[in-house]
Amino acid sequence: MTRAADLKARLANVAQIETIVSALRAVALGQRREAERRLEAVRAHEAAVAGAMARALALAPPPTAQQAGQGASLLIVMGAGQGFAGAYGERLAHAALAQSPTEIFVLGRRTAEALEEADAPLRFRAEAPAHAGDAPALASRLADALIERLARGDVSRVTLLFAEPDAEALTLRPLIPFDYARFPPHAGPAPLLTLPPETLLQTLVEEYLFAELAEAALLAFAAESEARADAMSRAQTNVRRIAQDLERDAAHARQAALTAEIVELSLHAEG
C-alpha cells in the first residue's frame, strides 16, 4: 500500500471514530437532561414528606439522637457505573477513602472496583442506574439496605457522598443522626391518624431518607453524564486535530507522488 493510500485509510478510520465520539457525547447530554427533568418529581415528593413530617413532629417529639462516635460510621457513595467519563469514578473513590469510614455502601461498578483495590470496607454494592428512570427503584433498594443496617443499632453516623452537575466540589450530605430541626413542627390543626405518632414519624423518616437517596442518585447520574460528555468533547477535539494532521500529510504525500511522476515522465521524454 502506498503512503497516500495508507493515509486515506487512516483518515476513514478517524472519521468513523469521530462519528462514534459525537454519538456518545449526544447520548450523554441527553441523559443529563433526562435526569434533571426527573429531579422535579423527586424533589416534589421530598417536599411533601417534609411537610408531613412537620405535622407529625407537632404530635410526637423526635427521638434522642445517638451521639457521634458511639458506633460505626457508614458512607454511601453514588459512584460511576459506566466508562468514558475520565477520572470521575476514581475521584469519588479517593474522596470516599479520605473520609475513613468503617463501612461503605457504593453504587457503580467502576467506583466499587477502585474501592476494592484499596481494600475499602464495602458492605453493600450495586450497579449505578443505566438510565435516569432506574434511579428511584435503585434508591429504594439502597434505602432498604440502609434501614436494615440501622436496625442493628450500632451505626452512629451515615453520610452521603455524590457529585452534582456544574459543581467542582463533591457533596457530602449527613443523613444520620437525622436532623429533625429542618422540619419546624406545624402549628395547625392536628391531622387524623391511623398510626401512633411515633410509628408515623419513623415511617416518614425512612421515606425522607429514600427521597434524599433518589435525589442524590439522579444528581450523580447527571454529573456522570456531564463528565462523559466533557470527556467525549475533549476526545472530539483530539480526533479533529489528528484528522487535520492526516489531511496535511495526505496532501504532502499526493504532492510528493505527483512530483515523482512528473520527474519520471520528464526522464522518459528525454530518453
Q: Summarize pLDDT for 75-103 with one digit per residue, the tens.
A: 999 999 887 788 899 999 999 999 999 99
pLDDT computed for residue 116 by the predictor: 95
The arithmetic mean of pLDDT across residues 16-30, rounded, is: 88
Give 93-135 pLDDT, tens digit per residue.
999 999 999 999 999 999 999 999 999 999 999 999 999 999 9
Residue 1's pLDDT is 58
pLDDT of residue 85: 81
**Nearest CA-CA partner of 28 in 79, 86, 78:** 86
Sheet holding 155-162, edge to edge: 122-126, 103-107, 72-78, 155-162, 171-176
Read off the pLDDT of each residue in 219-233 and give the average, rounded to a whole number. Answer: 92
Domain layout of the chain by residue ranges: 27-187+194-227
Contact 11, 247 (CB under 8 A): yes
Contact between 74 and 96 under an 8 Å Cβ cutoff? The reply is no
DSSP 131: S
What percent of the chain shows pLDDT beyond 90?
Answer: 56
The predicted structure's pLDDT at residue 264: 74
Domain 27-187+194-227 has CATH 3.90.550.50: no
Question: What mean pLDDT do residues 39-52 have?
Answer: 95
Give phi and psi for 120, each to the nearest 5: -70, 155
Of 82-96, 230-244, 249-263, the range with the lowest mean pLDDT is 249-263
Average pLDDT over residues 53-80: 82
Output the average pLDDT for the chain.
Answer: 88
> Between 243 and 24, whose confidence is greater?
24
Identify the pLDDT of residue 70.
Answer: 72
pLDDT score, position 113: 94
The most confident of the ranges 15-29, 190-204, 256-270 is 15-29
